[in-house]
Structures are given as C-alpha cells and as structure tokens.
Amino acid sequence: MNKVAIAILTPIVVMVVAYSGCSTINPPAVLAPGPTQPGVYEFEVGNSLYPKSRGASKGFQRYLSSGEEVTGSLEWKESYAVHYKWSLYIYAPDGTVALEWNGADLKHQFHFTPTESGTYKLEILKRDFRSRGMRLTIDPPDWSKWGES
C-alpha cells in the first residue's frame, strides 16, 4: 500500500516543482523593455471574469507634453481568436477618455496627440477568459505600470 501512495504522490510533487521552476524563469505580468528596443513592453493580461466583471486589464502611464505625438501598436502574442472585443483607452490627466478603440483584431496600431500637458494613462482591457500575452510598442518610450485587474 505504501508503494501505491508513493507512485501517486510522486507525479504531483514533480508537477509542483516544474510549475514553480517555470514561474521563476518567466514570471507573469512582466514589464520588460529591452535595452536595444526602447518602448517595447511584453506582459501578460490575466484571466477575465467578464461579464461578472469589467474584464482583465493592464495599464501604463507617462507624463506627456501638449502636442507630443504618441504612436504605438498592440499585438496579442498568441494567434488563437479573440472571442470578445478588447479595448484600448488613453485617459487624459483629468480622467476623461482621450482615445478609445474596441475590436477583435489580434493587432492594432494607434496614434494620439495630447491637447494638454500632464500624466496620461493607457489601458488595455480584454474580456476573454484565458490569460494572453501581449506586446506593446510605443513611442515615446519610458512608460511605467499603472493599475491592473
């Protein structure tokens, strides 16, 4: 009977070790711009409980001067289809929506020019249940993490 218990427990222990090893090597929700690629951020947008919640989101913020052009692209790293529309929002310093886009494309390019100086917030909101990897490429670079759910 002890041999059976050991045979059943061994795979469970191995799975836990393998999972903890993976999370140490490649942790989720990493904001990691490469030194040779300023303005390129790769991160995970977690599981969504939509429609019971607004969805899962990641956010970034940066001080922008009035008239400073912002260009960028968002790309889901997985190629499987998006089941619910996802959204891009850029919020002005006063909290109003300065730019909004919704769609089911796997990639989206955007352009924005602030009308006033201040800290702008960029939010990516997805409603699909599954966690997904995303790449944000944005100019000007040096955005910092802000609010996520």
CA distances from 2 to 6, 7, 8, 16, 97 (A): 6, 9, 10, 21, 63
CB atoms within 10 A of CB 60: 22
Q: Which CATH architecture has domain 28-146?
A: Sandwich (2.60)
What are 82-120's pLDDT values in tens digits?
Answer: 778 899 999 999 999 999 999 999 999 999 999 999 999
| CA distance linking residue 93 with residue 139, whole number of Å | 19
pLDDT on residue 148: 61
Q: State the pTM of this model.
A: 0.72
| CA distance linking residue 106 with residue 133, whole number of Å | 11
| CA distance linking residue 82 with residue 108, whole number of Å | 13
pLDDT on residue 129: 85
CB atoms within 10 A of CB 113: 13
At position 55, the amino acid (one-letter code) is: G
Q: Which regions in the chain score pLDDT beneath 70?
A: 1-36, 148-149
pLDDT on residue 21: 35
| CA distance linking residue 7 with residue 17, whole number of Å | 16
